[in-house]
Amino acid sequence: MSDHPGGTPREHAAGASRENAADASRENAVASRENVTDASTAGDTAADTDVDRLRAPPTARSVPELLRFGVINLDKPAGPSSHQVSAWVRDLINETLAAIDPEGPPIAGVAHAGTLDPKVTGCLPTLTGTATRAAQVFLAGRKEYVSALELHGPAPGDLPEVIAEFEGPIYQKPPRKSAVSRRLRVRRIHRLDLLERDDRRALLRISCESGTYVRKLCHDIGLAAGVGAHMGHLRRTATDPFDDRDLHTLQELTDALVWAADGDETFLREIVRPAEAAFVHLPSVTIAPSAARAVATGAPVYAPGVIDVSEPAAGVSGAVGDGDADGDAGNHEGAEENPLVTCYTPDDVAVCLGRLVGHPDADSGVVVELERVLL
């Protein structure tokens, strides 16, 4: 008698084979459904993360967007260092963002336009949030100062002529207390005006290239005058493209942020401007939105994506090649072979800083090599 419960061994083997095939078919079907579900979920996730990185036009930004990509023309007071002032601005902005946009990120920091010594006052343009990537834009323009020249003896009769000799390119070696290498270098004095003179004191207005040491300039003028001199009070009155006609104090910024948190944004929008305001002294390249999205991923600007190229607005210095106080390094005299430009979308959103390396009217090839992506 057979040990199998009915049928031959061959019949049992065939049945087992059919059952295994059926089980495998069911498992493959389940796996197939799971794979489709996983693929669908992955597609949804990809769609969720494929966010358009182009920000809103400057005039359409909310207060949190403005604070995360803005610029403030700050009136630095005497006493604190530029770095301390920047830290206060960062903390004030983050306190406000925590109150009005708790789900959004804080800003990592701010960047100012050239360090001013603690005793020096005046124009300290400050970029906030993502705009700090563009801090180099302040190196392309001119600086202007008003300085007291403290003479060590009676002023010579030819003092105006002596001062006029310092207009143009001059040699400078940074002071011993400076934070940069003490090597001889050339800086350009664009204009040097004697505003007032009273006994042993003179008041100067200096328009100069970024990286000029006004303290050293005053010392050298004193030597040339034959009586010796040193720098007294110093105030920065302009850093392209900003000047002292619309400066705002830390106290004004504090008040504006408090009012904004209470729902009144008017004063804050006067003080914190879209970061694009810091780029108007640079040549601009308008590019198509599709090209801007490619730039956001690190691609250069190719010729087919270029719409237009413009020079800086009339009356704004810092066109290609233009060229602190006691001071930051900057560009030198003469037109640059590959000038720094700002790329914008057609609705005036700043996309990147880059170097113009190709002809904008070309049919192909790279027109702008990236230096900083601003999205």
**Cα–Cα distances in angstroms (integers) from residue 233 to residues 55, 72, 218, 342, in the given order:** 42, 24, 11, 35
The encoded tokens of residue 278 equal 């810091």
> How far is it, in rounded angstroms, from Cα 330 to Cα 332?
7
The encoded tokens of residue 204 equal 């100067």
**Cα–Cα distances in angstroms (integers) from residue 170 to residues 146, 185, 228, 333, in the given order:** 19, 8, 18, 11
> How far is it, in rounded angstroms, from Cα 252 to Cα 367?
42
Check: CB of residue 123 under 8 Å from CB of residue 238.
yes
> How far is it, in rounded angstroms, from Cα 255 to Cα 83?
21
Contacting residues for 100 by C-beta, under 8 A, at least 6 apart: 63, 64, 260, 261
Q: Is 117 a catalytic residue?
A: yes
The encoded tokens of residue 323 equal 């060229």
Residue from 44, 91, 117, 246 carrying the catalytic annotation:
117
**Cα–Cα distances in angstroms (integers) from residue 229 to residues 132, 200, 211, 313, in the given order:** 38, 9, 21, 39
> How far is it, in rounded angstroms, from Cα 177 to Cα 117?
11
The encoded tokens of residue 340 equal 């720094």
Place of tokens 């090209």: 291
> Running DSSP on this structure, what letter comes out for residue 349?
-
Positions marked catalytic: 117
